[in-house]
Structure 1
Amino acid sequence: MSTLWASRLALGAAVACGGETTVDPGGSCAELAGGLTARLAKSPRPNAAAEILAIETSKELVAPDALYERVAAELAAIAEIEPVTATIAPLSPCGYNALRVDFDQAGWASVAQGTYHAWDCHNRAYGVTDIVAAPSAGASSVVLTFGKRINLGLLAKEYASLPQVTDAERVLPTTDGPDVCLEVQVDQHYYVFDQAAGGCETGCLENTYFGFRVAPGAAVTKLGTYDPSLPGEAPAWYGLLSDCRTRLNGIGGP
């Protein structure tokens, strides 16, 4: 067995046991996550879609408690009115829970030997469950898998700032597919569900959008359904939800 893969197995076993990695004596694991420790401990939450939408909408590192609870209740209320929405989940990097980290030559040598400890606090605090060499992403890269749902865009910046790390990027979905977004306007929540189909490996050819407005207390108003392939202009509600249109035209959120 090569030194690299032997180290990979040792590292993977350490993080999977929840904190067996050696802590960098120059760092402070206790301070790394700040006031987010309690919220991190709750992830992954039971309702994956609600947790992902709460992360995307808040743009915080982890889902805020109150927003998660509200979104979970609203998704359930919407599904009672339009059952098909229960089958549509957010297409988001947060659901993939993976980050690619690139190292310089010296850093990669340390990773290969199992002596790179600058990321120990990060790996422990954010729940890394596996570390795998990623030669397809470059000879000096690894992919970290997290056992928690986290804003990977923000997390990538934290890992990119570590010593001997040259870059860190989210692992994005490789195909298109059904999706859902949440747009917040004052105290109103607007949801758009995209029931996508047809050739989604290269970009879905069929899209049917379901729109809903939800007031506090999970009071749902169905805005309508929109199929872009049919004649006529887009409905007003779809035109007004610019954040959702942008989100659904791309792949994934944070």
Structure 2
Amino acid sequence: MENNKPIGIFDSGIGGTSIWAEIHRLLPNEKTIYLADSKNAPYGQKSKEEIIALSSKNTEFLLHMDCKLIVVACNTATTNAIQELRAKYNVPFIGIEPAIKPAATHSKTQTIGILATQGTLNSDLFHKTAEKFHDTKIIEQVGHGLVPLIESGQINSPEMTNLLQSYLTPMIEANIDYLVLGCSHYPYLIPQIKKIIPSQIHIIDSGEAVARQTQNILNEKVGVSTIKNREPLFYSNSDPKVLSEILKNKYKVIEKDF
């Protein structure tokens, strides 16, 4: 089935580009439109009502751009708003949530760590997922301050190193063997994290799984693009410099208030 309309992707900022990159790698013929709501980042400290309102605003922008499918490339928005989005809009949504299942299933120490935003860890969806694995000890850690540092281009700063050490050390001491990154911003911290945790601790993020699910939905329900080599579009409602840098200045970023 052919459908040459674009895929829409939104996040509270630049972090969802880690999801976009996996989608773009797996589905190079698909035109993508990425929306960075950096002006309102981070979502993790906001109320459920605020997160739903922001997610609806982002969805309407992408629907106005004629998107055929929307990827909610934000754990906090997925866990707090995706049910409301699916009920409100007539378009398929793909969300992301912390990959507890593969970590708990494969853990040998039966202890895993979850680094996520407060909004994700407090959500009903997270608790329902975690309850399924009651035989596994889950060490939850809110990543206070990580997203603002990433959004301001301070990934390799001493402040980032100090925060990560304070968050990861208790997990290491608790003998985790899997670390789940429960925020789409956090894959950009993997090089930093690897300097802190022992090599036997496996790091899991959701990007590849989201890309595969996107491919499945396109094939089964929506239709695939037959036009090759279409440039992706990137929009930001804040200073586009950090988004440009995270994309290695390969693509133009359009600054637009939305």
TM-score by length of 2: 0.24
Higher helix fraction (1 or 2): 2
TM-score (norm 1): 0.24
